[in-house]
Amino acid sequence: MAHAYSHLFQIPCTGLRYFTVYGPWGRPDMALFLFTDAILKGRPINVYNHGKMRRDFTYIDDIVEGTVRAIERPVPYEIFNLGNSDSVGLMEFIGMIEEELGRKAEKIMLPLQPGDVAETTADIEKSERMLGFRPRMPLREGIRNFIAWYREYYGV
């Protein structure tokens, strides 16, 4: 519909696909928040697909920059992927959280959830070319920023 309206009525329309956004003030139902909270409280974490998952984690500041770039460059109709363009294994991700917290997680290994996918990776070539979008936050540093925020906000 967006494409049709853009074409028929010359309404600029830009769609943005965000890939696994994380960072301070992040959603409490996302992995980084859930894992950090559980590990600090001594509770186990659910690890789906027996840890054989990969995600393209994208720091919130990079998402904001990409969104602003899209707003500043209206086009008749485009869809842009905003991601880090680097898929990371779930067990590596959990390991980074454990290192930053200085604690090991108790893991409950579970099968892949219905409707979930084993891997996400953003192809950002068009976003780089048309928007000048380039994510800058390394995952380990982003996790460190989130955990510092979490500790301060929750007084841990």
2-12: per-residue pLDDT in tens? Answer: 889 899 999 88
Q: What is the pLDDT of residues 95-148, one digit of tens each?
A: 999 999 999 999 999 999 999 999 999 999 999 999 999 999 999 999 999 999
**What number is the average pLDDT over the span 53-68?**
98
pLDDT of residue 124: 98
**DSSP secondary structure code for residue 83 in this structure:** S
CB atoms within 10 A of CB 107: 15
pLDDT of residue 111: 97
pLDDT of residue 108: 98
Task: Look at the block and give the residue holding tokens 């953003």.
Answer: 122
C-alpha closest to that of 149 among 65, 33, 46 = 33
Which residue type occupies 52?
K
pLDDT of residue 47: 98
Q: pTM of this prediction?
A: 0.92
Domain limits of the chain?
13-154
Annotation: CATH topology of 13-154: Rossmann fold (3.40.50)
61-99 b/e (C-beta count within 10 Å ≥ 16 → b):
ebbebbbebbeeeeeeebebbbbbbebbebeebbebbee
State yes or no: pLDDT of 74 exceeds 90. Answer: no
In total, the chain counts a number of residues equal to 156
Q: Given pLDDT bands bounded at 50, 70 and 90, which one contains residue 21?
A: very high
Torsion of CA 34, 114, 142, 128, to 10 degrees: -160
* Structural tokens at position 142: 């982003």
